[in-house]
Amino acid sequence: MQKIFLECRECNATYRPDFKYVCDSCFGPLDVKYTNKFSTKLFKTRSANTYWKYFELLPILDKSNIISIGSGLTPLIKATKLGEKLGLYNLYIKNDSVNTTFSFKDRPAGVAVSKAKEFNLSTVGCASTGNLASATAAHAAKGGLKCLIFAPKNIEQPKITQAISYGAEYIAIDGTYDDSNRIAAQIGDKHKIGIVNINMRPYYTEGSKTLAFEVADQLGWKVPDQLIIPVGSGAMLNSICKGFEELENVSLLGDTSNIHVTAAQPRGCAPIVNAFKEHRTEIIPIEHPDTIAKSLAIGDPGDGRYVIKRLSQYNGYADDCNNEEIIDSIILLAKTEGIFTEPAGGVSISILRKMVENKMIDKYDQTICFITGNGLKSPESLFDIIPKPKIAQPSIEKILSIMR
Ligand SMILES: *Cc1c(COP(=O)(O)O)cnc(C)c1O
Ligand SMILES: [Zn+2]
């Protein structure tokens, strides 16, 4: 029996699990479905320290094709100090800022590059807003595949420095993320390159599901009440929902239909929030994204309309925040919980704070706020904000005279 097959998200046509990403009859996106029977006890008893703990619900057929750099099983922190500030008793931070390449993108990239190996491809690539570049490049390095990065020429310097260090080739596009995406799609199809977030997308998105698996696992196989998720293309939010659905299907979780899912976006690029607030199902693209949350600067989000669907399925909400609020929230999280995040994480915290202000979260709700990237990846946004140090002569009297 095959472990998996592909199914069209629009018309439900089914396909063999090949190197394929759109439906032949309606051009809809394809999703991976699982047919394997396995003992769910495995997930409760297996000791592991990567997200491959959940192998039975990941789309790799042969374990020998797994390329792992040790990602996943990141901490779920009970945010007691931030919770106290906000009046929440059960606030948790899913801290993916400490993943191997310092963002959650190790999950989708790791699964997609492993699948590329399973398909015997020699080259992978991606279109990236920054973090996916490093995650793809690192897994390609470990697996011995070549890696091409297509990204706007203005992506954050630490992110591109990191990606190139893993040996990837960076093609800097004089344009937006959407331009990079279009070019990567054409080159990928023409040269049989596994572009992880485009022609490998059915497999890529499976990786992010492990965020749902880990949260459920870390809560002792309990269903949370609130999920606050930063959104760019929308793939991660959609995958997290798919993950909870699958856990319910295999009876590892009870009823998941009462989960409240919130999409968080930065104001300068919030096409999904705009659609949600205007009760539209179609997304109007943002042509020139303008935000410090560069990893969320996707003007034409591939999974945008599916995020809207998920929000209506899961008692959802969507909101945006400005640059000032993002920076304020980065600092609040760092000062209360000791976690330093990049602007995308500041977006999740800002929306959490707005929801608390608007009394949308009960103080006892099990609330999970997803922190998806590390602050060291984009320090620029803070350079002008943090106080300049006082320079002191190396003498005790001088130092005591200026200390707070
Ligand atoms: C890519 C990214 C996101 C958004 O994920 P999508 O699947 O594009 O919605 C959120 N946070 C960080 C840090 C990212 O790199
Ligand atoms: Zn179809």
Q: Along the chain (404 residues), what's the average pLDDT of each consecutive run of 10 residues?
A: 92 97 97 94 94 98 98 98 98 98 98 98 96 98 98 92 97 94 96 97 98 98 98 98 97 97 98 98 96 95 97 98 97 98 98 98 98 94 85 89 82
Ligand 1 site-directed mutation target among 103, 209, 241, most atoms within 8 Å of CB: 103
**What's the one-letter identity of residue 364?**
Y
Structure tokens at 373: 């990237």
Confidence (pLDDT) at 183: 96
Q: Is 295 in the pocket of ligand 1 (CB under 6 A)?
A: yes
Q: Is 316 in the pocket of ligand 1 (CB under 6 A)?
A: no
Return the half-sphere exposure (C-beta side, CA atoms, 13 A cut-off) of residue 40. Answer: 11
Query: Of ligand 1's atoms, which has the minimum distance to the CA of residue 233?
Result: 8
DSSP state of 127: E
Ligand nearest to the Cα of 10, by number? 2
**What's the one-letter identity of residue 126?**
C
**Residue whose CA is at the smallest distance from ligand 1 atom 10:** 230
Give 235 Cα–ligand 2 centroid separation in angstroms.
18
Confidence (pLDDT) at 16: 97
CA distance 127 to 185: 8
Look at strands 76-78 and 91-95 and give their pairing. antiparallel
Q: Report how far apart, in Å, the C-alpha atoms of 120 and of each of 117, 205, 384 are.
A: 5, 20, 48
CA distance 139 to 112: 9
Ligand nearest to the Cα of 306, by number? 1
Confidence (pLDDT) at 383: 85
Ligand nearest to the Cα of 20, by number? 2
**Residue whose CA is at the smallest distance from ligand 1 atom 4:** 232
Question: If DSSP states are collapsed to H, E and C, what string results for 74-110?
Answer: CCEEECHHHHHHHCCCCEEEEEHHHCCCCECCHHHHH
Strand intervals (E) in 267-371: 317-321, 367-371
Ligand 1 site-directed mutation target among 129, 242, 295, 307, most atoms within 8 Å of CB: 295
Give 300 Cα–ligand 1 centroid separation in angstroms.
14
Structure tokens at 71: 């990602």
Give 7 Cα–ligand 2 centroid separation in angstroms.
8
Confidence (pLDDT) at 390: 84
Confidence (pLDDT) at 1: 59
Confidence (pLDDT) at 280: 96
For the stretch 276-284, contacts whose Cβ atoms lie closer than 8 Å and that sit 24 or more positions apart, written own/partner, are: 276/308, 276/311, 276/316, 276/317, 276/318, 277/318, 280/308, 281/305, 281/308, 281/309, 283/308
Question: If DSSP states are collapsed to H, E and C, what string results for 7-42?
Answer: EECCCCCEECCCCCCECCCCCCEEEEEECCCCCCHH
Confidence (pLDDT) at 198: 97
Ligand nearest to the Cα of 196, by number? 1
Exposed/middle/buried for residue 253 (C-beta within 10 Å: 0-12, 13-18, 19+): buried
Q: Is 293 in the pocket of ligand 1 (CB under 6 A)?
A: no
Residue 147 near residue 141, CB atoms below 8 Å: yes
Confidence (pLDDT) at 386: 85
